[in-house]
């Protein structure tokens, strides 16, 4: 009688342990499935999407289309902020180019003024000394 009682106790203990192991295995499997989905999402977002944007940009360059920086930035607050800074930088660059052109060219004719002409003559004289070429200046 005592041996059957011990046997039944051990069977119960075995079934309980088996239930814990099954539950732990199920939780582990669910965790690894979740981890697999998360890894796939992370790899797609950080590897494949930038490669797709690069391919898209490359095809635009091949078709001689203008690049749009907004297409390459994320569509969130950080992307908007980066795009705004890019636009400000472009405006500053264009205004700097315009002012540089106005500073070195005549406004009426568009020809180079004295400052730019003097610099170009100095560069030509320096290149002439190195390449054995001749230059001429016509006023």
Angle at 45 between CA 43 and CA 50, to 5 degrees: 105
pLDDT for residue 88: 86
How far apart CA 52 and CA 133 sit, in angstroms, is: 51
pLDDT for residue 34: 97
Q: Report helix, strand or coil for 25.
A: helix
pLDDT for residue 39: 95
Question: Given CA atoms 49, 50, 55, 61 in this order, what sign does their dihedral have?
Answer: positive
pLDDT for residue 38: 95
pLDDT for residue 42: 92
How far apart CA 30 and CA 122 sit, in angstroms, is: 75
Residue 58: closest CA among 70, 72, 48? 72
pLDDT for residue 85: 80
Query: What are 129's two structure tokens?
Result: 């000394």
pLDDT per residue, tens digit, the chain (139 aa), is 666 766 677 777 888 888 999 999 999 999 999 999 999 999 988 888 778 877 877 787 778 777 777 766 777 777 777 788 878 888 888 999 999 888 888 888 888 888 787 888 888 887 777 777 777 777 6
């Amino acid at each position: 009688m005592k041996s059957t009682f011990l046997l039944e106790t051990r069977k119960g203990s075995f079934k309980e342990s088996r239930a814990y192991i099954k539950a732990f295995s199920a939780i582990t499997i669910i965790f690894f499935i979740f981890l697999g989905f998360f890894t796939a999402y992370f790899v797609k977002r950080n590897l494949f999407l930038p490669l797709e944007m690069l391919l898209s940009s490359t095809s635009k360059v091949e078709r001689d289309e203008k690049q749009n920086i907004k297409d390459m930035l994320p569509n969130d607050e950080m992307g908007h902020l980066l795009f705004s800074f890019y636009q400000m930088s472009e405006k500053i660059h264009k205004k700097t180019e315009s002012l540089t052109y106005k500073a070195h060219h005549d406004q009426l004719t568009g020809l180079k003024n004295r400052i730019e002409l003097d610099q170009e003559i100095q560069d030509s004289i320096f290149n002439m000394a190195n390449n054995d070429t001749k230059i001429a200046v016509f006023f």
